[in-house]
Amino acid sequence: MLSGVTQTTQSTARDGGRRGAAAGSRRPLRPRIRPERPARSRGGRRIHRAWIVAAVTFVTIIGGAAFNSLPGLLMDPLNQEFGWSRGEIGLAVSIDMALYGLTAPFAAALMDRFGIRRVVAVALGAVAAGALASVWMTASWQLMIYWGLLVGLGTGSMAMAFSATVTNRWFVARRGLVTGILTAAGASGQLVFLPLCAWIVDHHGWRPASVTVALAALVVVPFVWFLLRDHPADVGLAPYGGAYEPKPAPARGAARRTVRVLADAARTGPFWLLAGTFAICGASTNGLIRTHFVPSAHDHGMPITAAASLLAVIGIFDVIGTVFSGWLTDRFDARRLLAVYYALRGVSLLFLPMLMAPEVHPPMLFFIVFYGLDWVATVPPTLALCREQYGDDSAIVFGWVLASHQVGAALVAFLGGVARDVFGTYDVVWYASGALCATAALMALVIRRVQKPV
């Protein structure tokens, strides 16, 4: 009897040992079987790490967007101090915008190769270097180098392709909403820095404003380095709303892959329609309003600080409009949303010349609120269509579509300044941009659908 108990005990121990060994052997694989929902702590549900990454990305984009508040404010001061024409200054801004767009698809591929943290930290350093170096410039070619080259490359590496990469890796559920929030971060940067920079330019000159922008970019670097993570697998998690996937190996040949994805996408009609509509989006926002609204309002006698404050109000409502657009994109046809957005934007631009006056009056405030709601509401549906059409390559494809956005912005930033030099007014630019937006609305409606497998 005792022998039987002993044998049973030994057998149990052996079985327990085997189970313990098996459990021990499975322990390193635990991240592969993490639940799809956020883990629960003893006190309740923890915040999923994806939301922390999204918050850091939001702050980073705000810091990088600080420079975008400057060009419209500095046209008059640079013209008065150096005698540079609006066309020359607009050319520097257009170089910045073009590089912003052309850098984005390569930056998305570089993030796959070297990681998000390294690419973004270097990009913030480039923005800070360009803003600081501009303090000592004395010739217009230096403006092209500092504002155009350095800042263009830096901000381009933190463009919306950065948002797309973070969203694609860290989120499966709520992608449209998160895209809207991260897109709104650029407007939030404008909201935070535009009135401050306008006040600094008005009271202390343009150089302290450039230094402020440089410091804003540098302050964000520690947040990026210590809190941002490249992939959910780095912390043993599944993406929010999805299943765990191991981190892929670094993708080599970033430039080659970026060009290959462009070549493949360029053979499809939807790519050209998306690129065309987004080029008009850039022309009617960054190229037109952000660059030329303040000097145009100043032409009609409005103080620079008042005009800059109106742009800041655009920033407030842009956050609301873009987040709401992300929510709508999760629920409605992205093509129809784009058509509505562009049509309404075009109508508002046709009325703008009649609203310019020395003082801010209710019709102008209505335009500012309306335009703010529509400012980059086009981004969530455009990114959703890129995902629908191009799958795993969507972040890089969106980078190329963003490049067209910035090429359109660059052309209008330059041509708008030339038109002001030639005609003495911006009216023709407002009317032409309104007509372009109507064209974009029609283009959005003819983008073909992708039939999803049943």
The pLDDT score that the predictor gives to residue 413 is 82
Q: What are phi and psi of 27, to 5 degrees?
A: -55, -45
Tell me which residue of 310, 299, 311, 302 sits closest to 425, measured CA to CA: 299
Higher pLDDT, 71 or 6: 71
Residue 298 to residues 72, 112, 288, 432: CA-CA distances in angstroms?
11, 45, 15, 21
Provide, rounded to the nearest whole percent, the portion of the chain with pLDDT above 70. 84
Sign (positive or negative) of CA dihedral 212, 218, 224, 227: negative
The per-residue pLDDT for range 340-398, each reduced to its tens digit, is: 999 999 999 998 888 888 888 888 989 988 888 887 788 889 988 998 888 878 877 88
Residues in the chain: 454
The pLDDT score that the predictor gives to residue 36 is 41
Q: Quick one: tokens of 38?
A: 């956020």
Helix (H) or strand (E) holding 41: strand 40-41
**Count of alpha carbons within 13 angstroms of residue 143, beta-carbon side:** 22
Looking at the DSSP bridge assignments, the partners of residue 240 are 171
- Could you tell me where the DSSP H helices lie in 172-265? 175-204, 206-227, 254-265
The pLDDT score that the predictor gives to residue 338 is 93
Q: State the average pLDDT for the chain.
A: 79
The pLDDT score that the predictor gives to residue 160 is 66
The pLDDT score that the predictor gives to residue 441 is 94
Higher pLDDT, 90 or 279: 279
The pLDDT score that the predictor gives to residue 28 is 43
Tell me how far apart the alpha carbons of residues 236 and 125 are, in angstroms, rounded to a whole number.
30
* pLDDT band at 23; cut points 50, 70, 90: very low
Tell me which residue of 32, 7, 233, 218 sits closest to 115, measured CA to CA: 233
Residue 94 to residues 44, 90, 405, 408: CA-CA distances in angstroms?
51, 6, 12, 9
Other CB atoms closer than 10 Å to residue 19's CB: what's the count? 10
Lowest mean pLDDT: which of 64-73, 352-361, 410-419, 442-451? 64-73
On whether the pTM is more than 0.75, the answer is no
The pLDDT score that the predictor gives to residue 69 is 65
The pLDDT score that the predictor gives to residue 18 is 45
Kindly state the greatest CA–CA separation across the chain.
110
* pLDDT band at 272; cut points 50, 70, 90: very high
Terminus-to-terminus CA distance in the chain, angstroms?
A: 64
Other CB atoms closer than 10 Å to residue 362's CB: what's the count? 8
The per-residue pLDDT for range 151-190, each reduced to its tens digit, is: 888 887 876 667 778 888 888 888 777 877 887 776 666 6
Tell me how far apart the alpha carbons of residues 334 and 349 are, in angstroms, rounded to a whole number.
23
Coil, strand or helix: which one is 172? Answer: coil
Q: What is the dihedral of CA 424, 430, 431, 434, to 10 degrees?
A: 170
Tell me how far apart the alpha carbons of residues 51 and 344 are, in angstroms, rounded to a whole number.
33
Tell me how far apart the alpha carbons of residues 399 and 165 are, in angstroms, rounded to a whole number.
10
The per-residue pLDDT for range 42-96, each reduced to its tens digit, is: 444 677 888 888 888 888 887 766 676 676 677 778 888 888 887 788 788 778 8
Q: What is the dihedral of CA 175, 225, 110, 165, to 10 degrees?
A: 0
Q: Which of 30-44, 88-102, 209-223 has the highest mean pLDDT?
A: 209-223
Provide, rounded to the nearest whole percent, the portion of the chain with pLDDT above 90. 11
* pLDDT band at 275; cut points 50, 70, 90: very high
Higher pLDDT, 231 or 250: 231
Tell me which residue of 52, 168, 174, 151 sits closest to 98, measured CA to CA: 151
Tell me how far apart the alpha carbons of residues 144 and 355 are, in angstroms, rounded to a whole number.
33
The per-residue pLDDT for range 106-154, each reduced to its tens digit, is: 777 788 778 888 888 888 888 888 888 888 988 888 888 888 888 888 8
Q: What are phi and psi of 300, to 5 degrees?
A: -95, 10
The pLDDT score that the predictor gives to residue 25 is 41
* 273, pLDDT greater than 90: yes
Higher pLDDT, 309 or 442: 442
